[in-house]
Each structure stands twice: as structure tokens, then as C-alpha cells.
């Protein structure tokens, strides 16, 4: 009879009892998951930091990134209203007036004649008169309760004599997601107003100058003398 083989021994080192698998690299799926998480975390950090950072502008004023973006948007709206040169005309040159509501830059909202809304005619190169919008590219947002929700914003009642906006008007939003508002459109004090960081519109719609504006951002369209 052949001798028995050596007795079965139990490993004393736990590492010897572990089933080892061949070394392998990181799969593409795993790498993509890691990168996605890192990008998401980085975006949160950058977004939080950017809202706290103050940037010095050309006039020496320190502003947040959101304020700078909003002021740039307001400047673009003013250019669309007033034009930038004799060859790049705006709404005011085409129709001889400002729109009754800011959404008139994007949709032809017309004007009120004897309590009736009259849609402006399309631009006629021969007469150099008429609406040839859109004068600015909108974001697709509309003046709605969900983005206005009170907070001092002007009436949306179409029965008012001169509503600053009505529901479903095209809206041009500031960096905080609130619509810009055109105030005092028929006066030398015409101005664009953003509700600012607190999202509450504090500028008085009826006051021509209204120095008490809270954190609203205001851009006057024309030169004027506040003491008039």
C-alpha cells in the first residue's frame, strides 16, 4: 500500500485563506462615475464661492458675479430698446416710443388706442417705421405667478391703464430668476429695474426717481436731472 500523502493543514495566516483574484485596472464605467461625482462636488463649491466673491468693476464698485451678469443683461436690453448706432436701431427708433411693456421687445404687444390694443405694423423699409422684432433673444420664460409671486412686483392686471406686465408676457430674467421690469416708460425717467439679490422689488413704480430702492439694480435709459 502506498503511503498516504501529507496531512491537510489549515492555514494559520488569514491572508492565505483569502481567494485572490488577478490584479485588474479601473474600468471605464468606474472612472466615469468618479469623474461625475468630482464634477458635481466641484460645481457646488464653485457656485457657492462665486456668490460670495466680490469683483471690482471699472468704476471702482465691488459687485457680485450675479450683479455683474444682471447689469450686463440690463445693458443689452437698453441697447435693444434704444439701439447702439445709426445703423443698429432699436425699438424706440423703429416705433418712436418705448414698448408699453418690456415683453414688447420679444413679442409684438402693440399699443393702446382708445382703450383698445392695436398691434404695431411690421417694419416697412420705405417708411422706416414698424415693429421688426424680436429685438432681443428671450429665454422662453414668461411673466408668471411662479416667478413673480408678489414681492412688490407691479400689477399684472390687463384692465389697469398702463400695466407694467401681464401674465404670459415674455419675461427677461435677472441672475436671480426674477423678471426685469420697465418703469416710467413714457417719461424722461424711464428705467429698467431688477429686484436684486433679495428678489423683492423695492423701487416705487410711480415715483420718477425713488432714491430708496433697497438692493434693487436700476438702469436709467435716458440722461435726466433728478431735480426737475
Residue 148: strand, helix, or coil: helix
CB 203 within 8 A of CB 218: yes
pTM of the predicted model as reported, rounded to 2 decimal places: 0.71
The span from the CA of 191 to the CA of 153, in Å, is: 15
**Nine cell digits for residue 29:** 464605467
pLDDT at 1: 53
Which pLDDT score, from 0 to 100, does residue 185 have?
78
Looking up cell 418703469 gives 183
Identify which of 46, 180, 28 has the alpha carbon closest to the alpha carbon of residue 104.
Answer: 180
**What is residue 227's predicted lDDT score, i.e. its pLDDT?**
45
Tell me what pLDDT residue 101 has. 86
Domain boundaries, the chain: 26-50, 63-228
The pLDDT of residue 35: 73
Question: 179 phi and psi, to 5 degrees?
Answer: -75, 140
pLDDT the model gives residue 157: 67
Q: What is the pLDDT of residue 105?
A: 95
Mean pLDDT by 10 residues, the chain (228 residues): 52 50 59 72 56 62 87 95 91 92 91 83 94 89 82 73 76 93 85 93 81 89 64
What pLDDT sits at residue 19? 45
Burial class of 131 by CB neighbour count within 10 A (0 to 12, 13 to 18, 19+): buried
DSSP 63: E
Residue 153 cell numbers, joined: 412686483
Instruction: Give helix then strand counts, H and E, for the chain.
Output: 4, 7
Amino acid at each position: 500500500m502506498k503511503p498516504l500523502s501529507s496531512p491537510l493543514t489549515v492555514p494559520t495566516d488569514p491572508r492565505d485563506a483569502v481567494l485572490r483574484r488577478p490584479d485588474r485596472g479601473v474600468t471605464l464605467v468606474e472612472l466615469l462615475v468618479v469623474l461625475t461625482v468630482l464634477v458635481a462636488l466641484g460645481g457646488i463649491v464653485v457656485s457657492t464661492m462665486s456668490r460670495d466673491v466680490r469683483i471690482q468693476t471699472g468704476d471702482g464698485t465691488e459687485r457680485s458675479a450675479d450683479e455683474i451678469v444682471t447689469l450686463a443683461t440690463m445693458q443689452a436690453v437698453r441697447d435693444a430698446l434704444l439701439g447702439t448706432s445709426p445703423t443698429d436701431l432699436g425699438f424706440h427708433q423703429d416705433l418712436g416710443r418705448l414698448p408699453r411693456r418690456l415683453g414688447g421687445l420679444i413679442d409684438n404687444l402693440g399699443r393702446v388706442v382708445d382703450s383698445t390694443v392695436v398691434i404695431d405694423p411690421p417694419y416697412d423699409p420705405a417708411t422706416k417705421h414698424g415693429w421688426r422684432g424680436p429685438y432681443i433673444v428671450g429665454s422662453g420664460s414668461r411673466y408668471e405667478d411662479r416667478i413673480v409671486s408678489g414681492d412688490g412686483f407691479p400689477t399684472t392686471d390687463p384692465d389697469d391703464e398702463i400695466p407694467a406686465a401681464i401674465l404670459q408676457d415674455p419675461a427677461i430674467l435677472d441672475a436671480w430668476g426674477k423678471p426685469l421690469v420697465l418703469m416710467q416708460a413714457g417719461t424722461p425717467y424711464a428705467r429698467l429695474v431688477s429686484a436684486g439679490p433679495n428678489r423683492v422689488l423695492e423701487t416705487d413704480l410711480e415715483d420718477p426717481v425713488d432714491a430708496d430702492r433697497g438692493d434693487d439694480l436700476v438702469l436709467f435709459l435716458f440722461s435726466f436731472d433728478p431735480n426737475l
